[in-house]
Amino acid sequence: MTVTETLSASLLKAKNQSEECRLYVLLDPSHNEQLIAAVQGMSTRHRCLFVGEDLEEFQEESPWIAEILHGEPLFDWLLKETFGKQQALYFVSNQGIDSLFTKLQRVKEVVEPSGELVYFRFYDANTLNRYLPVFSEGQRREFFSAMNSVYAEEGEEGFFTYTLNADATMNWSVSGNIEDSGIYPLPGLKTEEHDPSLPWFFTEEQLQYPLFAHRDELIDDLIEYLEYEEVETVHFYPKGFVRAMVNQGIEHCFTYKVLDLIHMRLFINLMWTINPQFHLQPSIHQVLSQSSSTEEKFDTLLSDDFEEVWIRAGAEKYKDWWPEGEGAS
């Protein structure tokens, strides 16, 4: 049985569990503009999730919701043409399409720690697979109040099935071949108390942890940052070498408990602009190894008192920095 056949069988089985169950699909035309014509021409119950100014600005990229009805060609066409391309996300619900439309309006935007309201592309399977595991309890309860089960592809050969337990813990299962599962234990992230009357809010940890849990994507982000900062040395080496160096820098960050993206980017930048082994300079290593917060460590390192230390760190060879008795690397 192919992965799309498995997905089809899983969806139909979930739908047939009760007469009240309905099968839906969320479509993301930003990856394929033909989806809008397909949903309008191959289904009878559908709605665009964007309205008003949002629809005017993103008309050709606006997400759509459609109910999969027996006898209509949309379902078979989607399985054949879109699987593995981040264009369709399936779910089963007891609710009608208008009720779902109303509930999903609250999920399409989130407030960041800066206070900025940004679009949340939950209808993109790649995005949902990374952020669903770090939803707060209140966010999980609200999200699954609209859905009984969710089916999100991961790559081209597999998909996840998500359901919610009575205690708001999440169940998931893997179907097909998925190399990077995208699922990881919840790390006790700091989340804000969820208020259903207020917009969704993501803490800094909720925003960053999915990136930390997917090493290739974290490496991509850090390289993009170096290029944005116009660090020219990254262009002097083969891509594979650059990725290996950045990956080693990530390991150093974890060793020193540098676990936020801002300071991790700064650490990697220092590797490429000062010296790849700058952290082994004894004074710098001592500060990085302290139990104080990351912000306090870098405030110390970037103070005027460390100006001479940074000059030495850039000039000396790493073999002269190796702290005796430490196994730093």
pLDDT tens for 164-210 read 999 988 888 889 887 655 454 445 566 777 788 788 999 888 888 88
Long-range contact pairs involving 195-201 (C-beta distance under 8 Å, separation at least 24): 195/138, 196/138, 196/142, 199/106, 199/109, 199/110, 199/111, 199/117, 200/106, 200/107, 200/109, 200/110, 200/111, 200/120, 200/139, 201/110, 201/111
Residue 59 has pLDDT above 90, yes or no: no
Residue 322 has pLDDT above 70, yes or no: no
Are 158 and 270 within one domain? no
Are 255 and 137 within one domain? no
Q: Which of 153, 179, 205 is the last residue of a domain?
A: 205
For residue 41, the surrounding DSSP H or E stretch is: helix 34-42
Q: Encoding tokens for residue 84?
A: 């593995």
Are 140 and 101 within one domain? yes
Confidence tier at 317 by pLDDT (50, 70, 90)? low
More confident residue, 188 or 100: 100
Answer yes or no: is 322 within a domain. no
Q: Which of 174, 205, 236 is the last residue of a domain?
A: 205
What is the domain extent for residue 127?
A: 3-205
Answer yes or no: is 326 within a domain. no
Q: Which of 154, 179, 205 is the last residue of a domain?
A: 205
More confident residue, 97 or 55: 97
**Which pLDDT score, from 0 to 100, does residue 327 have?**
37
Q: What's the CA gap between 265 and 273, in Å, rounded?
A: 12
Residues of the chain above pLDDT 70, percent = 92
Answer yes or no: is 210 within a domain. no
Amino acid found at 52: G
**Which pLDDT score, from 0 to 100, does residue 215 have?**
87
- Name the domain count of the chain: 2
**CA angle, 100 then 50 then 35, to 5°:** 90
Are 236 and 303 within one domain? yes
Answer yes or no: is 320 within a domain. no
Are 224 and 124 within one domain? no
Are 231 and 310 within one domain? yes
Answer yes or no: is 94 within a domain. yes
Instruction: Out of 63-67, 71-75, 203-207, pick the least confident.
Output: 203-207
